[in-house]
Structure 1
Amino acid sequence: MENRSMPPKDLHAVLPRLALIGAVLAVIAGLFAWAGGWLTPARVSGGSIADAIEANTGKVFAGTRRAHAKGLCVSGAFVANGAGVALSRAPLFVAGTYAVTGRFSLAGPNPGASDGRNVFHALGLRFALPGGVEWRMALDHVPTFIVATPADFQALMVASTPVAATGKPDPVRMAAFLAAHPETARFMAMMKAAPLPSSFANGTYYSIDAFRFTSAAGVTQAVRWQFEPEDAFGELDKSKLDQMPNDALFDEYIVRSRKGPVRWHLMIVPANPGDRTDNGTIAWGPSHRKIDVGTLTLDNAATETTGNCRDLVFDPLILPPGVAASDDPLLAGRSAAYSASFRRRAREGAPADPLSIHQGAAK
């Protein structure tokens, strides 16, 4: 048999390359392990955030999103007016019409919870762009978030977990958290005082986090954005929230959508000097320039059983060319938590949709 062993001289030459390849593979494996939370079980990951939400709730609603579980599918189109081309080379800003799939939802893990709660309204959007490009957004009707980092969110879930004796969060533990996180106390005070939109159709929806736009000329700038409604704002009576029918907001939107298309204008808000791009709890001031880059029209509503949004993940880091994440750590945390939530509910199978059961909504 032919001797295929490598001469010592050649072996010495190859060994450094083999060592380098091995080191690279080890680093890659380590990154996967770190991302999965295997090396440091106590660290914050998408899975640990989902765990904290489940522990806070005390119950897993199988097959549903761990947050924003109650939702309604919507679809329509975005008509770009061309004004956004100067800001970003994203295909969405080229004058034209682009298909949109979306989902309205309310904060909370219970898909059957009453709409009569003082929680924020959310809108997820998926824009289908030429060449198979997508842009996904996760928007809320409030301009800021309750915490600044994924670790703070996980800690908030732990601090606000109800205790068995009272069914409410431990007041000492919660007070300690709020003392250490004044931004959370500010958010809670804002939610208590600010008006709640009377409809999904008349709320403004905010990006919350900052992003970076890059134009075709290579100019990069920080921005936030918001969808401003054409429907006149209406306010819910917070003193009567507990008297609202269980699915009042969803039923109202279905009725409203049957009367005609619902429209919002996409307003891009470039940062001013000194604006924070790394902290979603800090609102930018009112003196910002706003550029109207097009109109979002939603003309169809369907339950998650009959619609096409149930399995969509509205990951804010699915971005087109010309748009990039800022240095806000919430973006990576939201992306990881949404992914972990999707993996869990996919394993659990499709749940019964309470909106489909309720009076045959959206027929």
Structure 2
Amino acid sequence: MIPTPLSTGQKTLRLLLIGLVPLVILVLFLWAGGWLTPERLTSDKLVSVLQQAGGEHPGYRRNHAKGICVIGTFASNGNASALSRAALFAPGDTPVTGRFAIAGGNPSAPDYAVPVRSMALAFQQKDGEQWRTGMNAMPLFPVATPEGFYALQTATLPDPATGKPDPQKLGAFVEKYPEFKAFLAWAKQYVPSSSWASDRFNSLNAFRFIDKTGAAHLVRWSMVPHAAYQAISAADKNNKDFLQQDLQQRLNQGPLEWDLVITVAQPGDDGSNATKVWPADRQTINAGTLVLTRAVPQQQGPCNDINYDPLILPDGIAASDDPLLNARSAAYAKSYNLRTHEQAQQTGTHL
């Protein structure tokens, strides 16, 4: 059958459509980068303001730059398998590559100067899927949105004249983001511990566990330490690397353990706002024990090349509608691309 020749109008329309495809791709690229909407918050802006706060340190993360790699396993007891069909929650062991860190972009910062600490973990399932999570040793996040986080970083940048944040800018920030007051109240009474080993690390963001029937359960989780809490000491404050040295000393004596405790939301609990702490009477499930056996310096360690993106999730775990999750994921990716490129330049290799 001989095809009907295209009319002049049809030919013109086809050529227009062919020409529009690269134009649409270009527009999407520019929009994603923030070029067409300069007022829109982008990962470039987030990473840039973090670098302003921490200084330029090529080859390092833009936040939580100072840290140490840890290696171990997660021993699941099977208790969480009713909530999530993720393979790691079935009874058995899953290899884990993790990282302890302190907040901030300066890899040489003294451990005692930064009260906010983090634990990041990558669980490697037998089926090849991974669960990556980044947790912090605080009960709530300072702000509810990416815009609030950006505003916080901007408001706390040191004034060149004084070397300290401008009180007026801080005051204006708190007025615009009043949820920050809850974090301030916690920070004022918080006494940091003497060890990562005794810190409780919380997901802060909510996620959804998907069970075998496809039903979703809104959850948060915490790594609850087996080691007893001890307050930071005067000796700790004279040692800029006391957290790393303490961790090595403890691991030389034996494994360190945390229980993975899942908190299950009830109807009405807000999963989109990390500044809201759920009531203490919510159901909790001990899903198993994280057992860490070894620590390795980060620059040559197995955690160095891992992007602990909170949205790298296995089947059985899904994101909630918390807006911070997508922002974290995008900023982590930007930071990862920058530092790996810088590391390649430092070593003379090519990506």
TM-score, length basis structure 1: 0.88
Is structure 2 residue 49 aligned with structure 1 residue 55?
A: no
Q: 2:291 aligns with which of 293, 297, 300?
A: 297
Is structure 2 residue 323 aligned with structure 1 residue 329?
A: yes
Question: How has the CA–CA distance of structure 1 residues 351 and 21 changed in structure 2, closer, same or farther, with 3 Å as cutoff?
Answer: closer
Amino acid across the alignment from 1:262: L
8 A contact 2:201–2:223 mirrored in 1: yes
Is structure 2 residue 154 aligned with structure 1 residue 158?
A: yes
Distance of 1:351 and 1:8 partners within structure 2: 54
Distance of 2:77 and 2:24 partners within structure 1: 46
Deviation at 1:184, TM superposition (A): 1.7
Deviation at 1:125, TM superposition (A): 0.3
Amino acid across the alignment from 2:42: S
Distance of 1:31 and 1:185 partners within structure 2: 38
Question: How has the CA–CA distance of structure 1 residues 129 and 30 changed in structure 2, closer, same or farther, with 3 Å as cutoff?
Answer: farther
Deviation at 1:157, TM superposition (A): 1.3
1:26-105 alignment runs, 5 A limit? 27-57=24-54, 59-105=55-101
Tell me whether 117-126 or 204-213 shows the greater mean CA deviation.
117-126
Distance of 1:35 and 1:291 partners within structure 2: 40
8 A contact 2:219–2:265 mirrored in 1: yes
Q: 2:207 aligns with which of 203, 206, 211?
A: 211
Is structure 2 residue 196 aligned with structure 1 residue 200?
A: yes
CA RMSD, Structure 1 to Structure 2 (Å): 2.4
1:344 alignment counterpart: 338
Q: Any gaps of 5 or more consecutive residues in structure 2?
A: 347-351
Q: 2:223 aligns with which of 219, 223, 227?
A: 227
Question: How has the CA–CA distance of structure 1 residues 319 and 18 changed in structure 2, closer, same or farther, with 3 Å as cutoff?
Answer: farther
Question: How has the CA–CA distance of structure 1 residues 322 and 196 changed in structure 2, closer, same or farther, with 3 Å as cutoff?
Answer: same
Distance of 2:227 and 2:17 partners within structure 1: 61
Q: 1:309 aligns with which of 299, 303, 312?
A: 303
1:270 alignment counterpart: 264
2:349 alignment counterpart: none
> How many residues in Structure 1 have an aligned counterpart in Structure 2?
345
Distance of 2:219 and 2:17 partners within structure 1: 41
Is structure 2 residue 238 aligned with structure 1 residue 244?
A: yes
1:145 alignment counterpart: 141
8 A contact 2:258–2:291 mirrored in 1: yes
Distance of 2:317 and 2:142 partners within structure 1: 25
Please list the CA deviations of residues 246-278 of structure 1 after superposition, one character each: whole Å capped at 9, or x if unmatched.
101111011011111111111111101211111
2:6 alignment counterpart: 8
Distance of 1:137 and 1:5 partners within structure 2: 57
Tell me whether 30-39 or 115-124 shows the greater mean CA deviation.
30-39
1:134 alignment counterpart: 130
Distance of 1:305 and 1:73 partners within structure 2: 9
Deviation at 1:150, TM superposition (A): 1.0
Q: Any gaps of 5 or more consecutive residues in structure 1?
A: 353-363
TM-score, length basis structure 2: 0.91
Deviation at 1:16, TM superposition (A): 6.8
Distance of 1:80 and 1:11 partners within structure 2: 65
8 A contact 2:309–2:328 mirrored in 1: yes
Please list the CA deviations of residues 230-256 of structure 1 after superposition, one character each: whole Å capped at 9, or x if unmatched.
11122224xx48833010111101101
